Structure 1
Amino acid sequence: MPIHVDEQWQYVDAHNLSEKYVYVDDLILGRVRRRQATKPGDLTREWFTAECWNGDAFIPREEPQAEFESAVQLLVFDEGR
């Protein structure tokens, strides 16, 4: 079962929300959303949320993750599938 992820981020909301879809073969497992926050004079902070696709809607999984790879793992190893 090959797992693959979109190569580029798709921007959803101006500059602070983007997403990549995660697939197994040609079926969608879910998406990872990246949120970014920047304060003037500060570094950009980002966090990632995993959302499983259940056939009708995206269902959020657990708490936001600090790393993209951790969010992808929540989708790949989702026990509710």
Structure 2
Amino acid sequence: MSIYYDDAWLPSLDGTHTKRVYRHGTAIAIGRVRLWQTCDEGELTHEWFTAERWEAGRYVPIQGEHADFLEAVERIVLDLATH
């Protein structure tokens, strides 16, 4: 399945940033990836990603955290294949 995703990270009300994921040839989102960040005082910023699938008019979290954006995108595609 060919997919694409937003170019820019969009800010969310909860402080995360998101990119929507689409099936190629459609403008309907199949899911989104959230970017989470924490920064301890005097420490480096820690980042991780979570995946959510679009189902019945809302985003449904897919269990697990990912160290890489593309890994989270792959999780959406795999989850879509099983639902």
Q: Which runs of 5+ in 2 are unaligned?
A: none
Q: How does 1:1-81 map to 2 (within 5 A)?
A: 1-13=1-13, 16-24=15-23, 25-26=25-26, 27-78=28-79, 79-81=81-83
Give 1:41 deviation, angstroms: 0.8
Percent identical across equivalent pairs?
36
Paired residues, number: 80
**TM-score normalised by L of structure 2:** 0.85
**TM-score normalised by L of structure 1:** 0.87
Q: Partner amino acid for 1:3?
A: I
Greater share of helix = 2
RMSD of aligned Cα (Å): 1.6
Q: Which runs of 5+ in 1 are unaligned?
A: none
SS of match in other structure, 1:77: helix
CA distance in 1, matches of 2:13, 2:39: 15
CA distance in 2, matches of 1:55, 1:28: 12
Q: Partner amino acid for 1:28?
A: A
